[in-house]
């Protein structure tokens, strides 16, 4: 039996050097697509030739019109079908239904990105058991569902479809990408349940390597540091609940520009698109020998002496 990695190199359909895109023909799922990092990842995958992207959001009203973001992507990348998909990250049933729908419609799933993180409260005094549960659901239960249910779907092969950007899938291939935080490796960048659940997210990745042996499916983490996701500190005290429940990463403004220059190797906060580029790399054959890794995207901050930022 041929080695899966050798097969990947031999298959033209998975070559990252394709002129029509390193992800040409791929069918992808991105959770947290309504958040800045998830939205940037959807754009990145579309830019490299994906055939279909399920942009999963927490919206529940199916009568809502498509967002302007979807219209923009349709104009930029008309051959990529972006499907805004209401999805509960804590629902096992939603995960199974999504996989069934994708296989029925496209015959394949190639990439699954969990980018549905949640901050939770900034201090132990503010943290309730319910807060901790929500953080674990967003930051580690959703990755667990991906690890448990996506690989069998990714192993399915399929002939070339009749849709735009179609390509045959002639081998088992899959990439699971967990977007977490540098809180996955140390504490102090926000509250306790954020650190605990981020560590658990990285635990899913570490455990996944043995689970996925022999499947042709890889799993990796991306741990962003300070990323400017557009969250302002203005009114932070009065709108703390909104920040806790609707934000994936700590506000970059917790450190002033002067402090960022002092404590970050690249002297600035990162941008969602810079996280998305790493996701595009991990989704493609360029990372064919990478699994179980934690790609730290923090501008070098964790290499310098990380500061404990008081809230």
Strands (DSSP E) contained in the chain are 27-30, 52-57, 81-86, 111-114, 174-179, 217-224, 294-297
pLDDT tens across the length of the chain (311 residues): 445 544 445 577 888 888 889 999 999 999 999 999 999 999 999 999 999 999 999 754 455 555 667 788 999 999 999 999 999 988 999 999 999 999 999 999 999 999 988 888 988 999 999 999 999 999 999 999 999 999 999 999 999 999 999 999 999 999 999 999 999 998 878 899 999 999 999 999 999 999 999 999 999 999 999 999 876 555 454 455 555 556 778 877 777 889 888 888 999 999 999 999 999 999 999 999 999 999 999 999 888 755 444 33
Angle CA 113–39–46, to nearest 5:
75
- 3-state SS, residue 196: helix
Residue 17 lies in a domain: no
Q: In terms of C-beta density within 10 A (0-12 exposed, 13-18 middle, 19 or more buried), how is residue 35 classed?
A: buried
State the helix-helix crossing angle for 142-154 and 192-211, rounded to 10 degrees.
Answer: 20
Contact 203, 276 (CB under 8 A): no
20: in domain: no
Within-domain flag for 5 = no
Say if 307 falls within a structural domain: no
Identify the pLDDT of residue 243: 56
* pLDDT the model gives residue 272: 95
Domain membership flag for residue 140 = yes
Give Cβ neighbours of residue 184 (< 8 Å, ≥ 6 apart).
198, 199, 201, 202, 221, 223, 294
Q: What is the DSSP letter of 141?
A: I
Angle at 16 between CA 11 and CA 19, to 5 degrees: 100
What pLDDT, on a 0 to 100 scale, did the predictor assign at position 99? 98
Number of domains in the chain: 1
Edge-to-edge strands, sheet with 52-57: 81-86, 52-57, 27-30, 111-114, 174-179, 217-224, 294-297
Please indicate, yes or no, if residue 235 is contained in any of the structural domains. no
Residue 8 has what pLDDT? 47
- Domain limits for position 49: 27-228+245-297
Closest to 229 (Cα-Cα) out of 212, 215, 248, 210: 248
The pLDDT of residue 245 is 59
Give pLDDT, residue 1: 45
Give me the pLDDT at residue 307, please: 47
Reading the block at residue 256, the tokens are: 């002033």
Residue 59's pLDDT is 54
Tell me if 305 is assigned to some domain: no
3-class DSSP assignment, residue 113 = strand
Within-domain flag for 133: yes
- CATH of residue 107: 3.40.50.720
How far apart CA 57 and CA 8 sit, in angstroms, is 32
Extract the tokens encoding 202: 């990285």
Residue pair 178/141 in contact by the 8 Å Cβ criterion: no
């Amino acid at each position: 039996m041929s080695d899966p990695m050798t097969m990947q190199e031999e298959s033209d359909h998975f070559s990252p050097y394709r002129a029509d895109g390193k992800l040409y023909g791929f069918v992808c799922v991105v959770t947290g697509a309504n958040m800045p990092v998830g939205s940037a990842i959807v754009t990145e995958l579309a830019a490299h030739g994906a055939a279909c992207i399920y942009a999963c959001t927490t919206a529940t009203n199916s009568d809502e019109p498509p967002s302007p973001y979807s219209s923009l992507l349709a104009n930029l990348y008309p051959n990529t079908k972006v499907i805004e998909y209401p999805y509960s990250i804590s629902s096992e049933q939603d995960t199974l239904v999504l996989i069934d729908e994708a296989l029925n419609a496209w015959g394949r799933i190639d990439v699954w990105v969990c980018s549905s993180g949640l901050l939770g409260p900034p201090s132990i005094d503010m943290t309730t058991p319910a807060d901790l549960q929500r953080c674990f659901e967003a930051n580690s239960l959703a990755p667990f569902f991906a690890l448990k249910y996506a690989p069998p779907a990714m192993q399915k092969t399929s002939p070339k479809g009749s849709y735009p950007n179609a390509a045959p899938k002639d081998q088992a291939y899959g990439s699971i990408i967990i977007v977490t935080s540098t809180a996955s490796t140390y504490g102090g960048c926000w509250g306790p349940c954020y650190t605990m659940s981020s560590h658990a997210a990285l635990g899913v990745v570490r455990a996944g390597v043995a689970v996925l042996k022999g499947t042709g499916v890889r799993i990796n983490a991306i741990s962003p540091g300070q990323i400017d996701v557009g969250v302002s500190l203005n009114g932070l005290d009065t709108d703390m609940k909104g920040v806790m429940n609707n934000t994936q990463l700590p506000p970059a403004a917790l450190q002033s520009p002067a402090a960022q220059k002092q404590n970050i190797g690249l002297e600035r906060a990162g941008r969602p698109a810079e996280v998305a580029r790493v996701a595009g790399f991990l989704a493609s054959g360029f990372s064919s020998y990478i699994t179980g890794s934690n790609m730290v995207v923090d501008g070098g901050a964790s290499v310098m002496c990380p500061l404990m930022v008081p809230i």
